[in-house]
Amino acid sequence: MPGPFDSDDNLNDGGGGLVARTRAGDNSEPLTITEISAQLKRAVEDRFGFVRLRGELSGVKLAASGHLYCALKDEKAVIDAVMWRGNAQRLSFRPEDGIEVVASGKLTTYPGRSKYQIVIDSMEIAGEGALLALLEKTRVRLEAEGLFAPERKKRLPYMPRVIGVVTSPTGAVIRDILHRLSDRFPSHVLVWPVLVQGQGSAQQVAAAIRGFSQIQPGGPVPRPDLVIVARGGGSVEDLWGFNEEIVVRAIAECSIPIISAVGHETDTTLADFAADARAPTPTAAAEMAVPVRAELLAAVEDLALRQKRAAPRPIALGRERLEARVQRLPRPEALLQPQAQRLDDLSDRLRRGLSDRAAQARALLMADKARLSAPLLCSRLDQARSRLVAARLMPGMMQKRITREQERFAALERLYLSLDPKAPLRRGFVLVTGEDGTLLRSRAAAARQPVLSIEFADGTLDAVPAGQAESAKSPPKAKKPAPSALQTRQDDLFG
134: pLDDT strictly greater than 90: no
pLDDT at 3 over 60: no
Contact between 211 and 192 under an 8 Å Cβ cutoff? The reply is yes
Rounded Cα gap, residues 184 and 168, in angstroms? 22
User: CA triplet 238, 241, 246: central angle to 5 degrees?
Assistant: 170
Do both 182 and 164 map to the same domain?
yes
Check whether residue 485 and residue 409 sit in a common domain: no
> Which residue has better confidence, 186 or 391?
186
Specify if 139 maps to a domain. yes
- 276 in the same domain as 143: yes
Range of the domain at 110: 33-125
One domain for residues 77 and 163: no
Q: Is 191 inside a domain boundary? A: yes
Q: Is residue 6 part of a domain?
A: no
Average pLDDT over residues 369-381: 73
**How much is the pLDDT for 143?**
92
Whether 5 has a pLDDT exceeding 60, the answer reads: no
- 253 and 155, same structural domain? yes
Where residue 83 sits, what CATH number does that domain have? 2.40.50.140
**Cα separation values, 470 from 268, 301, 360, 474, Å:** 42, 21, 89, 7
Task: Give every CB contact of residue 243 below 8 A, 6+ residues apart in sequence.
Answer: 135, 138, 269, 270, 271
Same domain, 280 and 157: yes
pLDDT digits (tens, 9 = 90+) for 274-322: 999 999 999 999 999 999 888 888 888 888 888 887 878 788 888 888 8
Q: Which of 70, 100, 125 is the last residue of a domain?
A: 125
Residues 120 and 149 in one domain: no
Question: Pick from 236, 270, 290: which residue ends a domain?
Answer: 290
Q: Are residues 159 and 274 in the same domain?
A: yes
Confidence grade of residue 166 (pLDDT, cut at 50, 70, 90): very high
Find out whether 484 and 296 touch, Cβ atoms under 8 Å. yes
- The size of the chain, in residues, is 495
Tell me which of 1-10, 24-33, 344-353 is least confident.
1-10
The DSSP letter of residue 424 is G
Note whether 141 and 167 are same-domain residues. Answer: yes
Averaged pLDDT for residues 68-81: 91
| More confident position, 243 or 14 | 243
What is the per-residue pLDDT for 153?
A: 92
Q: How far apart are CA 9 and CA 368, in angstroms?
A: 64
Per DSSP, helices labelled H in 264-421 are 270-274, 282-289, 293-308, 313-328, 332-367, 374-390, 395-418
If asked whether residues 138 and 285 sit together in one domain, one would say: yes
pLDDT at 367 over 90: no
Q: What is the arithmetic mean of pLDDT over 408-427?
A: 81
Assigned domain for 345 exists: no
Q: Which range among 15-29, 129-143, 209-223 has the greatest average pLDDT?
A: 209-223
> Does residue 344 lie in a domain region?
no
Q: Is the pLDDT of residue 214 over 50?
A: yes
Pick the residue with more confidence: 171 or 480? 171
- Are 282 and 176 within one domain? yes
Q: How many domains does the chain have?
A: 4
- 58-72, 354-368, 447-461 — which one is most confidently predicted on average? 58-72
Cβ atoms 204, 143 nearer than 8 A: no
What's the Rg (C-alpha) of the chain? 40
State pTM to two decimals: 0.40
pLDDT digits over 256-279, tens only?
999 999 988 888 899 999 999 999
Point out the domain boundary residue: 125, 141, 157: 125
Please tell me whether residues 172 and 97 are part of one structural domain. no
320 domain-assigned: no
Q: Is 319 a member of any domain? A: no
